[in-house]
């Protein structure tokens, strides 16, 4: 379990000159008094607009950044007392394709990261994880020759080599197609339910993850502005287009003036409260 309490992060610019008083420092508050809890075997969705502080929070959780104030407890261990515990037990996936060595093959990349992630590297584990993700056949392909979907899967493979208790996913699906996204989500859903694992994920496109997450934490301008536990059952309008694209519009977002693409093939709405909307849509 992870407990985040009163976490604040301020980016300070020109602080190097503080003592000399050469330039006044500017500061940007990225996180302001953030508190919430992540339970074991749960997937938390961290949702918010650009610049809300999502990535900063994830980087603090993985010990890439340090907070200004506040505390995080990871299985009872405090960040301020043992930052290495956070580094060793968490893993991050981002949408950054560049975080690999493009001259090397998939296997060579994963061997390198396994070497720095694990004290006793086990090469068979790499093949096992590639197999689980269904991408064993690309192991010898240079990283630069992979599609975006493949690269996203390699990111997942890399982080799993670390055997993290906390998996942090920062916009992991931004470059990948629907099918790859669904495959990865299905894989991770199974993964998180084993042992004491947790996932925290950010996304701008929450219709992509809303079904998948156990709890939503809404963040804006560095502050938590709302929390929502998962409501079982359907709580969205599903629209299937002729192109094969599926769109889910959450109920809270449905307004009277909803516009539907004329090329859709079907609309599915299941909620007694929505009779009125259905009538409007049928018109």
Partner 1 sequence: MRITKVIPFIKRDFKIFISYPISMLFSLLSIFITLFIFYFLSKVISVGEVMVKYSSDYFSFVIIGIAFSSAVSTGLNTIVSSLRNEQMKGTFEMLLTGRLSTDELLLGFLSFNTLFEVVRLILTLLFAILFFDLKLQFRYSYISVIFLIFTFLTFLSFGIISAGIILITKRGNPLAFLINQSMVLFSGVYFPYEILPKWLRVFSYMFPTTYALKGIRLNLLKGYGFSMVYKELIIMIILSLILFPLSILFFKYALKKGKKWGTITTY
Residues that bind partner 1 (CB under 8 A): 9, 11-12, 15-16, 30, 56, 59, 62-66, 68, 87-88, 90-92, 96, 98-101, 103-104, 108, 111-119, 121, 158, 162
In the complex with partner 1, the residue whose CB is nearer, 101 or 264, is 101
State the minimum distance, in angstroms, from the CB of residue 113 to partner 1: 7
Closest CA to 277 of 256, 262, 263, 248: 256
277 vs 281: CA distance, rounded Å? 6
User: Taking the complex as a whole, how short is the minimal distance between the CB of residue 35 and partner 1, in angstroms?
Assistant: 20
Q: Which is nearer to partner 1, 114 or 188 (CB)?
A: 114
DSSP tag of 105: B
Residue 164 beta carbon to partner 1: minimum distance, rounded to whole angstroms: 9
Closer residue to partner 1 (CB): 10 or 278: 10
Q: Which CB, 167 or 239, lies closer to partner 1?
A: 167
Own/partner pairs, 148-152, CB within 8 angstroms, 24+ separation: 148/97, 148/175, 148/176, 149/175, 149/176, 149/177, 149/179, 149/180, 151/97, 151/100, 151/175, 152/95, 152/176, 152/180, 152/184
- Min dist CB 65 to partner 1, Å, is 5
Q: Cα(30)–Cα(230) distance, rounded to whole angstroms?
A: 27
Tokens at 230, concatenated:
């998962």
The residue among 26 and 205 lying less far from partner 1, judged by its C-beta, is 26
Dist CA 130 CA 150 (whole Å): 11
Q: How far is the CB of 207 from partner 1 (least distance, A)?
A: 28
Edge-first strand listing for the sheet containing 246-250: 246-250, 236-241, 264-269
Q: How far is the CB of 49 from partner 1 (least distance, A)?
A: 20
Contacts of 161 (CB under 8 A, 6+ apart): 110, 113, 114, 117, 118, 125, 126, 129
Q: Which is nearer to partner 1, 15 or 280 (CB)?
A: 15
């Amino acid at each position: 379990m992870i407990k985040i309490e009163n976490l604040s992060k301020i980016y300070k610019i020109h602080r190097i000159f503080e003592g000399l008083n050469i330039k006044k420092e500017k500061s940007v508050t990225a996180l302001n008094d953030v508190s919430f809890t992540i339970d074991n075997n749960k997937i938390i969705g961290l949702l918010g607009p650009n610049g809300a502080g999502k990535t900063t929070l994830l980087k603090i959780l993985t010990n890439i950044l340090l907070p200004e104030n506040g505390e995080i407890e990871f299985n009872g261990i405090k960040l301020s007392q043992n930052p290495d515990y956070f580094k060793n037990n968490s893993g991050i996936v981002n949408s950054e394709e560049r975080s690999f060595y493009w001259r090397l093959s998939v296997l060579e990349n994963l061997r390198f990261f396994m070497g720095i992630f694990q004290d006793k590297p086990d090469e068979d584990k790499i093949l096992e994880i590639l197999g689980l993700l269904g991408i064993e056949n690309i192991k010898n392909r240079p990283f630069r020759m992979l599609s975006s979907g493949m690269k996203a899967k390699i990111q997942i493979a890399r982080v799993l080599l670390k055997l993290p208790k906390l998996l942090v996913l920062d916009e992991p699906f931004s470059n990948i197609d629907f099918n790859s996204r669904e495959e990865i989500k299905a894989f991770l859903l199974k993964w998180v339910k084993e042992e004491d694992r947790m996932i925290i994920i950010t996304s701008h496109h929450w219709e992509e993850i809303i079904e998948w997450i156990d709890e939503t934490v809404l963040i804006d301008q560095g502050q938590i502005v709302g929390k929502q536990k998962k409501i079982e059952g359907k709580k969205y309008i599903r629209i299937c287009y002729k192109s094969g694209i599926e769109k889910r519009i959450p109920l809270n977002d449905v307004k009277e003036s909803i516009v539907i693409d004329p090329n859709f093939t079907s609309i599915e709405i299941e909620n007694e409260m929505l009779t009125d909307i259905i009538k409007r849509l049928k018109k």
